């Protein structure tokens, strides 16, 4: 357990690769992750809900039947089983809550897919 507060923006400033979330904490059976994103990710789904909160910038999440735009200070939960594709026109910093069992791109293997060992690497 960390003995100090985590400054999310200062920690995010150390991230150099887009779409490469890093674990910055744990809550019960979930990881707290931060990521810098830019451009289009990949269509995928998860067997768990996925929490997105924008810390800086703007994120659009395309789903099969609608699109949600999230601005700094806002969050959205993609329900489990919903195909989605996050897109950021400009660099965006996001906070994610995901169960420890959640695969980065679900059952889809893509060039941007990161393993949990990649995500656990210290910054």
Q: What pTM was computed for the model? A: 0.87
Average pLDDT over residues 65-79: 97
* Higher-pLDDT residue of 112, 57: 57
Nearest of 20, 16, 9, 4 to residue 118 by alpha carbon:
20
Q: Of 93, 77, 110, 91, which Cα lies nearest the Cα of 24?
A: 93
Handedness of CA 53, 2, 7, 12 (dihedral sign): negative
pLDDT confidence of residue 110 = 62
**pLDDT at position 111 over 90:** no
**Taking residues 40-69, what's their average pLDDT?**
95
All domains of the chain, ordered by start, with CATH?
20-101 (2.60.120.10)
């Amino acid at each position: 357990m960390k003995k100090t507060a985590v400054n999310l923006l200062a920690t995010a400033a150390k991230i150099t690769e887009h779409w490469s979330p890093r674990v910055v904490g744990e809550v019960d059976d979930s990881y707290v992750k931060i990521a810098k994103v830019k451009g289009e990710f990949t269509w995928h789904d998860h067997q768990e809900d996925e929490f997105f909160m924008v810390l800086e910038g703007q994120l659009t999440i395309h789903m099969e039947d609608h699109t949600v735009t999230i601005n700094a200070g806002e969050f959205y939960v993609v329900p489990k089983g919903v195909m989605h594709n996050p897109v950021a026109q400009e660099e965006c910093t996001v906070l994610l809550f995901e169960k420890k069992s959640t695969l980065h791109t679900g059952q889809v293997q893509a060039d941007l897919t990161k393993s949990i060992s990649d995500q656990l690497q210290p910054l």
